[in-house]
Every structure is written in C-alpha cells, then in structure tokens.
Structure 1
Amino acid sequence: MYDVEAWDQWAKDRPGRQGTNAAGETTWFNWTIHPDHGPGVEVLGDIGPGTHVLELGCGSGGNLAHVATLGADAAGIDLSPVQARAAGGRYPHLTVHVADARRFLAASPALYHVVYSVYGASWFTDPDELLPLVLSTLAPGGRYAFSQNPPALPGCVGPQATQMKSPTPGEPLYVKRWDYEPDDWEKRMKEAGFVDVQARIIAPPPGRRAGTLLVTGDKSK
C-alpha cells in the first residue's frame, strides 16, 4: 500500500521518544507534539484494571505503554510494520497489530471502554468512515479522544495532502489528512452519535507556534 511505504519511511526517520520526561518518569502520556506540555492520560477518564483500551495509530508505543502501566488491557494498531516493530522492541509486553484502522474496527468482536488517537489514524482517515466504526466498537459509556494539528490555514478544511519523504530519490509520497475547526469536529461527532462532545485547541508553550486540537466524545450509556 502506498500509505504503508510513506509511514514506514516516516518511522525510520523519526527519533524515538526520550527515555524519561522532565519529571524523570519512564512512561507518560502526551497529547501534543511538545514534550511535557498539555493534559495527560486523565483526558481518557478512569483507566485501570478491567479497562479495555485501543489506540489507533500507536506509533512506537510511548502513550500506550503508559496506559498499560495503569493496569488497563491496552492494545494498539498501526499501519506501519516498522512502527509496530519499534513498539514491540521497546515495550515487548504491549499488544500491537499491523492493521488499517477501518478494517480492524470493522472486524473487531471486542468492545472497548476507550479508543484514542494521538496524531494518528483519526487524523489520516476519513471521519465519515471512521467515526461510525469507533462508535460501534465502544462499550456503552465509552470514550473516544484524539489530537492533531488545527487546520494549517483558515478555511482550509476537509481532506488535505501531507507530503512525506520518499525512501528513494524522486517524487515525494503523499498521504491524506482531514482538517476541521473545533466547531466542525463537534458537529461531526454529534452527527455520528457521540454525546458530551468537546473540541478545543491547546495553546502551545511559550515561543512555539503550533497548538494542538483535542477532541473528546462519549458513547451514550
């Protein structure tokens, strides 16, 4: 698949998460691209033993590893085999599947208490396809949460092209992403059947320009 090649190359070029954060912790949850900034795992609600959690686009597994330390039954999926191997190599106790988010959710017999994505599949999958699948996979009262960049330019919303580095000289690779303003995300989430929806932009730390769009919504009980 064309997207797989792009994401494999991205994974090879991207440095892994540092060993510890500013507090000296070896696992932690970060919604933004800025280290030690913004809210943490509390966004997902009560996480602990008996909680079934799924990450869409888990990358090298840093956030998922922290969820697992809380006692949750945590699993992740990623389109890139390179990313999945990196996650398994660093966190061998994690369950990571190489899969497309839509196909995995459509075939999954499991119900999850939490589904989340951090700059992952939620950003790079058509929400008209993904949102109903997430909702159907959530247990009653379950939560869906995701983060991504806000739209790059005002009014530049909907499917956009993200240029990715090619593994060989020549034409770059591209993947699609879906950009919407917070109000648009709230509307789309509610239309898909989510309740208690909130979408907001987390301001960047001083001296940085990129904020983070964070969206949460629940399945009715």
Structure 2
Amino acid sequence: MTKSSTGKTTNARRGRLPRGTLSQELIVKAAFRVADSSGMDRLTFQALGRELSAHPTAIYRHFRNKDELLLALIDALHEEALANTPPPTGDWAHDLMQIAIHTHDAFLRHPRVGALSAARPARRENEFLTVERKFDCLRRAGLNDTDAVRYHRVFADVVLSYSAMDASLASLAPEVREADVRAWKTDYLTLPADRYPNIARVAPQFVELDDPQNFVTAVQAIIDRIRARAEEHRRS
C-alpha cells in the first residue's frame, strides 16, 4: 500500500480485481493460460494471482489446493469437448466416435493439462454429462446393463489414455518431440534385418507417431467390438 498525493492510501499495484469479482470460472480460464504457456509445474496460486491481478489468498476461497484446481481443469476439458460434439443422431457408433474425437481434440488444445487427465475422475457436472451420453450410445447399440458398464469402462479408458498420451507428446519440448517422432522413420529403418526380420519387413511402412488416424483406429476397434457384442445379444 502507498499514499497518494492527497494523502489517501491506495493499492500500489494497478489493475487488481475488485473484491468479490473473482470466480471459479475466471480462475480456471487463467489456469489454462498459465499451464498452456508455462507448464503445470509453473501453475501455482502465486502465478495465478499474478495472472489475475489478485492476491493468491483470494484463490484459496475457491479452491482448497492445486489438486482441486486440477480436477476443475479436467472437467473444463470435458466441457470444451461437449461444446464441440454434435448432437446425437440415429447412429450410435457415429455418436460414440464423435465424443471420442472431440475429447481427444480438447486434450490436444491443452496438452499440459491433458497429459495429467487420464486417470483422474473430475467428479463434476461436465464429466457426468459426458458419461451419460456415452451410456446412451451403448444402450442404443443394444448392450445390456452389465455389458454397457464394462464396455463404457474400456471405451473411456482407451479414449482418455490415448488422448493423454498424445497430449504428453504434444507437450514435450519441440526438439525432444521431433526426435521421438523421427525415431520411427530413422532408427527403426537402420536395424539389422537378420536380427529384427519382422521390423525390417514393415519399417518402411511405419505410420507417424502423431498421425491422428492412430487414435481413430484404436477407437474404431472398440466400437467394432461393441457392435459384435450387441450382435451376440441379438442372436441369443
């Protein structure tokens, strides 16, 4: 605090948010900006205070700790994915694929948060809505309750873990990421054929490590299995 020329006490820092205007939504948006630009290690309440022109203690009124903030960021990823996912159609498989694609896209737009999101349930509204939509697809596919629960778990794990893995790759330093991607087009091509005959045979056809079709292929394999399981129910 400093005194002005009139003798009144004023804030030395300009632009500080007025008391009572800070919200969870504003904090989450600021947290994404800090994480996207500097990484999760630099995402501290002190850094958020600087980003928001607010005292760090004000953030504690909305989030008890960084882990609680992380769960809110994960739920915000689900919210972003839902906002971009088209409404349900008459094709459950198409709808399930759209949920997967837009979840993957959201993770890649915020890779430093997405890389930490696979195993953490957000336990918040947008995650609940996402799970509800996936179960709607599985029930329309023809699965009974037991299979719907099992295949939802497998589908969700594939989508989230693959999205987190791709986010981890995207969040690497550019030179590290480039070396990892290049390995499949250089290192593997030079392996001796007498020791690695199967690799030598297919190495020239290796797809890029970050090829988006890799994710789609993985999700399609799960959808195909769901369709096959539903057909087994119909036959029985």
TM range (shorter): under 0.3
Q: What TM-score, normalized by structure 2, do the two folds share?
A: 0.22
* Larger helix share, 1 or 2: 2
* Larger strand share, 1 or 2: 1
Q: Please tell me whether Structure 1 or Structure 2 has the larger radius of gyration of its CA atoms.
A: 2
